[in-house]
Structure 1
Amino acid sequence: MSNLPPAFESRMRKQLGQEADAFFKALNQPAPVSIRLNPIKTTGKIPDTLQSIVDKKTEWCPEGYFLSQRPVFTLDPCYQGGAYYVQEASSMFIGYLLKQIIHEQPVKVLDLCAAPGGKSSLTVSALPADSLLVSNEVIRSRATILKENMLRWGYSNVVVTNNDPSDFSAFESAFDIVIVDAPCSGEGMFRKDPASIGEWNENNLTVCRDRQKRILTDIWKTLKPDGYLIYSTCTYNPGENEEILEWICRQFQAESIPVSLPADTITPGNSTAYGYHFYPHKTTGEGFFCGLIRKKDGEKYRPKKNKKQKTTTFPIPPELSRLLIHSENLTAQNEDNRITILPDMHGEFIRQLRSELKVTAYGCEAAELYNRKIKLLHPLALTTWLNKQACSCYEAELPEALRYLKKEDIQVNAKTGEWILITYRHIALGWGKNLGNRLNNYLPKEWRIRMDLPTDLI
């Protein structure tokens, strides 16, 4: 790249020494394409739509794969149904860190800067049974994208929030793990997003560092004693990486935790705190940095009395219970005739979150009551809690699946009034209902494919 800022290039030459030329050469190569499978929806099998272009696995994520080319993901029903997520490979290392610190006991995790959802979908897939993830994004437009991606992924032990870090002050010592993928100068995205080069300047490095410290200060008390902070950035700047880890350890008397590395292409940082760099000339991926910190003090979480939320739970209606796996561990909540399914053991904590934060999604919004009848809602089709064996399914061919995803009519033989789960390669896409003369397409309008479908696919 000939348009790199001179100050950035000078610093990287000092930082990398003899490796600098290889680093700059790598920035001129095409950005790799990688995806991560949804372990429940695919059971580890690569979807047929991708098998011909799979190149190799990632070294630190068993579900991660590199592709030899970038397909039009929008036109893959398997992607639309949450069978896989398109994620930059280096950031999948968060899953490897999680496996070093979680075991069989359920945990509560906060992913603070979560949009668009790669790390949150990775995290919730790695958590033990009965765990809960709070996935937060402060920017409203990005929080909307986060919500959609988490609903598509289908794990319903998730609460999606749209809050500033300071808003979590009511949840002191509430979380076993906090993930902070901090807003940063974005140097690691120069190859993938050349526009970010023009936004780089030395003053912004200081702004980013100060913002990172403010975020970490706001969120530190939410960690339980002996809880873990996973800190990461997509930059190479030591002032936002190693120096921030060192600052955390000094500021909060915390402990930096080393981890064994799954590949010698990952570069340990040069610091008294343990941090790990992903450089594009050594690893197949973009620039990334992360470190693991353990909290050594703090108070036990004491939830406030919930005065704002008076919502009560009740047993799941039989019409829905039969459609759910392990419904005995779930409970229902009715607000404005919309039934949401919650994990029973986290119901009170979720109500506390809703009383203190701006919650945009939680559990599985499963159905709407209308004239004493139940209308099934889209999240129920996508949730991993769904018992597809209890559903009337229609396995669509590719042209039909794409027309359904454009919210167009498709022809299905079914009983009048019957709810039909539309699937493609056994991946659920959404609901339809036979009205007698046609199938009503219940895909939400905002989820429809907006691009024109190629003639060879329809």
Structure 2
Amino acid sequence: MLTLYLRKKVELPTKFTQSLHGIVGFDEKSFLDIHQSGEQITSIRLNPYKTLPHSEIEILKNAVGIPWCENGFYLPQRPSFTLDPLLHAGCYYVQEPSSMFLEQIVKFVLPDHKQGAYKLLDLCAAPGGKSTHLCALFPESLLVVNEVNKLRASILIENLIKWGKENTVVTNNDSSDFNSLPGFFDLILVDAPCSGSGLFRKDEDAIEEWSVSNVEMCAKRQKKILQEIWPCIKEDGYLIYSTCSYSKEEDEEILDWILDKFQCCIVDIPVEKNWGIVISESDKHKAKGYRFFPDHLKGEGFFICCIKKTSPESFYKSKAKKFFVPDRNQKTILEDWIQKSDELGFMLLKDQVHLVPEKWAFDIGLISQTLYLKKAGIYPGSFVAKNLIPDHELSMSNMVSSKIAKESLELPSAINYLRKETPELQFTTTGWALAQYKGMNLGWMKILSNRVNNYYPKEWRILKS
């Protein structure tokens, strides 16, 4: 049975609730009751690239599946995620359940998403929930993940490193910078900055910051972002637009604005009635969007819709930046550390060699000409003489060689390792080895005759006692 973690009651601004009158799905009494109940929901989404039997994942005991997400689960209570090594190994992502409906849109508009080779952009991506979800849904595609805020971009990079897939590029740009890539993307997700009313139950600061003027400011900003990014979608490509706001100014009215401004059509997404999702329509064009209310389902406030572009768009034409070609010595060294090396291309990013899928090397080269890349593919480590000093990013990736030595750690030793302490164990190997918990990589150790060096990133170490 699904139980819930409770917080203190949430008091909502009167002007806010008054602004929702007339919105389909809004029932003031039940809406206020659920916000004042203290109910909190915890959910995760599993990483399909790092699979374990569910019986091996302790937090899944008595978990319940999220109906619109194949790998999404409601947890019976909120565990100490920090003290679960599987979180640090990237085996799952803690994500709000309503936003996982993104999966249903992808499966409907691009049913070959698992095999297809698409170019995708998550424009407002931090902290990375929807980015890792897209990454899971599109294993063969190129995913460009952008965050304009430098600090939030660092958090985004950390989460993508833990996810471990080589088909991602992280950029740190304003939406206006993408105008140099017209007709480049098959699908763009804009999870737009918004007034945040859908997260009132989780974020009390959002309540203090809410105002009618802030809603209006956010709607203006959303239109600016959409206008700047629209040319980047190719003809017959898709825009997925979402917010965590209940305000129609940021939701249905944005839909009407898009339909007035651009040549496009709304895509109707099939929804099971028992899911509790409310299908809304915009006033002018009767365009359908999908609203999530916490008194209708187990999830926070959320709005999402899908638009198909019907107008032609000129395609970006340019010579790609010439890619770095590693010398024979570097290639030989890498062959001992990575698998499927023949499927990989190489590029220099800040004088560091990065590994990217060969089939996407040209496109990544185009992107690097006009955007500020923070991450591309997988950074394997630094070359020193005839050796590689492996980076943590390589240990998290699914391209690390199966021939690398591994040392299995029990829970106490795994936690010590993640605190960047030295595990007090007798090891069977010497040299570089992967520290593992339940067969999942946690990071690098270098085992010497008289000591063990822990290479877990200092900035990621567990501080919680």
Q: TM-score range by the shorter chain?
A: over 0.9
Residue 313 (structure 1) shift:
5.7
- Among residues 439, 443, 448, which one is paired with 1:426 in the alignment? 439
Aligned partner of residue 41 in structure 1, secondary structure: coil
Match of 2:121 in 1: 110
- Among residues 334, 351, 360, which one is paired with 1:320 in the alignment? 334
Say yes or no: does 1:123 pair with 2:134: yes
* AA aligned opposite 2:222: Q
Residue 338 (structure 1) shift:
3.6
State the distance in 2 between where 1:338 and 1:179 align.
29
Match of 2:155 in 1: 145
Residue 384 (structure 1) shift:
1.9
* AA aligned opposite 1:86: V
Say yes or no: does 1:45 pair with 2:54: yes
Match of 1:32 in 2: 41
* AA aligned opposite 1:219: I
Encode CA deviations 1:406-449: one digit per residue, 9 max, x unaligned: 11112342444x21011101111101111221111111111111
Structure 1 residues 206, 373: CA separation in 2 closer, same or farther (over 3 Å shift)?
same
State the distance in 1 between where 2:235 and 2:24 align.
37
Say yes or no: does 1:384 pair with 2:393: no
State the distance in 1 between where 2:56 and 2:105 align.
27
Match of 1:291 in 2: 305
CA RMSD of aligned residues (A): 2.0
Match of 2:3 in 1: none
Match of 2:6 in 1: none
TM-score, normalised to structure 1, is 0.93
Which segment is superposed worse, 78-87 or 191-200? 191-200
| Contact 2:116 2:138 (C-alpha < 8 Å) held by counterparts | no
Which segment is superposed worse, 181-190 or 365-374? 365-374
State the distance in 2 between where 1:16 and 1:243 align.
14
Aligned partner of residue 312 in structure 2, secondary structure: coil
Match of 1:172 in 2: 182
Aligned partner of residue 280 in structure 1, secondary structure: coil
Match of 2:224 in 1: 214
* AA aligned opposite 1:268: I
Match of 2:68 in 1: 60
State the distance in 1 between where 2:42 and 2:429 align.
43
Structure 1 runs of 4+ with >6 Å offset: none
| Contact 1:38 1:44 (C-alpha < 8 Å) held by counterparts | no
| Contact 1:174 1:223 (C-alpha < 8 Å) held by counterparts | yes
Say yes or no: does 1:304 pair with 2:318: yes
Residue 243 (structure 1) shift:
1.0
Residue 325 (structure 1) shift:
3.7
Match of 2:100 in 1: 92
| Contact 2:10 2:201 (C-alpha < 8 Å) held by counterparts | no
Q: Could you tell me the percent identity over the aligned residues? A: 39
Which segment is superposed worse, 263-272 or 400-409? 263-272
| Contact 1:115 1:143 (C-alpha < 8 Å) held by counterparts | yes
State the distance in 1 between where 2:55 and 2:260 align.
45
* AA aligned opposite 2:109: I
| Contact 1:394 1:412 (C-alpha < 8 Å) held by counterparts | no
Between Structure 1 and Structure 2, how many residues are aligned?
Answer: 447
Aligned partner of residue 443 in structure 1, secondary structure: coil
Match of 2:5 in 1: none
* AA aligned opposite 1:303: K
State the distance in 2 between where 1:44 and 1:267 align.
34
Match of 1:353 in 2: 367
Say yes or no: does 1:246 pair with 2:256: yes
State the distance in 1 between where 2:204 and 2:229 align.
32
Which segment is superposed worse, 159-168 or 254-263? 254-263
| Contact 2:353 2:379 (C-alpha < 8 Å) held by counterparts | yes
Encode CA deviations 1:254-278: one digit per residue, 9 max, x unaligned: 1101010134301001321110001
